[in-house]
Copies of this chain bind each other. A is one copy, B any other.
Amino acid sequence: MGSDPIADTALLEQLARDVLERSCGAEVVASSESAWPEELWRALDTTGLTRVGVSEARGGAGGGWAEAAAILRTAARYAAPVPLAETSVLAGWALDEAAVELPGGPLTVARGDLRVERRRDGWILSGRADRVPWARESSWIVMFVDRRDTCLVAAVPSDRPRIVRSLNLAREPRDTVICDEIDLRDLPVAELESPTGLVSRGALVRAIQMSGALDRVLELTVEYASVRRQFGRAIAEFQAVQQELALLAGEAAAARAAADEAVSAVAAVTGTPSTRAAHTRREEVAAAKVRTGIAAYEGARIAHQLHGAIGITFEHQLHHFTSRLLSWREEYGNERRWATELGRLLAAMGGEGTWRRLVTAGDPVAP
């Protein structure tokens, strides 16, 4: 039924899996709040996995959404506590679009209440952005300044703004970045076409990550249910447990399908992750964020219910995945925000138009 770019990424996924298996054990994840996992980052960086989706011309590793998705999904299966997506398909993409060479080290993106003013021979950046992923650990921060119909991007070394630490539910860094008249004159600045490209891309990234984390949550839960015994037998033999396991499997499969559908759609627009791809296929991206967000909650709920009390202890690894699921569904727009946007787009098409749009999902379109 048509060739699918997702199928061609198995080798890349295997590479990522090998690296993560070696460098991203449970103890790395557990201690990440207090210690930046430098070794993990270096392992990912030296294999080029931190730069997939950015053109080789700008110092990236090449590849498009399908390749990036394979890596991000795999990293999420290990709860890798590093800004992999932020460095590659978010900050890296923006720099690529802006024709700026990628700097070294982890990168991130900031958007919020930021503004620029022209002062004599250049731009001055002020304002603040909340919930910036890993700002404290990044070498450079790509600032997104919304303007009327476009978006100004500026790459700023992370020692220029003030950074106030904050966290998400998974205790991943989501910092506040405060810019007090940062002079952009000697820094790379460019204008992007779409002011909302970052949000679509961010939503797609989190959808992909959620589908990866859900696969892992399902694995952990199936394994636990087959090992754990109660009332004299493995709990997987209880019908009530089987019912829940099947529901969990359904959520994981749906999340996977939703993310795959969006990745196929976006990848079909163009080979490289351009602004337009995520934007042209905004409906599929919205659908993916909505469906994976629903699955994130249901999946986390069922997994904890089946794990019982052990699942909420810090020692057990389940919560690393469930807390990420519950954080990621909030980031770059929750289900309600995206469902409302998707609904508006479709309502404008009417019933027949909606049906046409639904059944052409995934079809290749011109960029």
Q: Which residues of A contact B (CB under 8 A)?
A: 238-240, 242-243
Contact = CB atoms under 8 A, between A and B. Distances in A.
A240 B247 CA distance: 13
In the complex, which of the residues A238, A240, A242, A243 has the most CB atoms of chain B within 10 Å of its own CB atom?
A: A240
Contacts of A240: 239-240, 242-243
A181 B239 CA distance: 65
Interface of A is mostly: helix
* List of 6 A-B pairs having minimum Cβ-Cβ separation, nearest first: A239-B239, A239-B240, A240-B243, A238-B239, A240-B240, A243-B243
A242 B238 CA distance: 12
A240 B240 CA distance: 5
A242 B242 CA distance: 14
Contacts of A243: 240, 243
7 contacts: A238-B239, A239-B239, A239-B240, A240-B240, A240-B242, A240-B243, A243-B243
Contacts of A239: 238-240
A239 B238 CA distance: 8
A306 to B, nearest CB: 14
Contacts of A238: 239
Nearest to A243: B240
A242 to B, nearest CB: 8
A26 B138 CA distance: 73
A239 B243 CA distance: 10
Nearest to A241: B239
Nearest to A240: B239
A243 B241 CA distance: 11
Nearest to A238: B239
A239 B236 CA distance: 13
A93 to B, nearest CB: 42
A246 to B, nearest CB: 10
Contacts of A242: 240
A243 B243 CA distance: 10
A260 B308 CA distance: 36
A188 to B, nearest CB: 49
A238 B239 CA distance: 8
A62 B238 CA distance: 55
A238 B238 CA distance: 10
A249 to B, nearest CB: 16
A3 to B, nearest CB: 41
A243 B239 CA distance: 10
A238 B240 CA distance: 9
A107 to B, nearest CB: 43
A165 B242 CA distance: 49
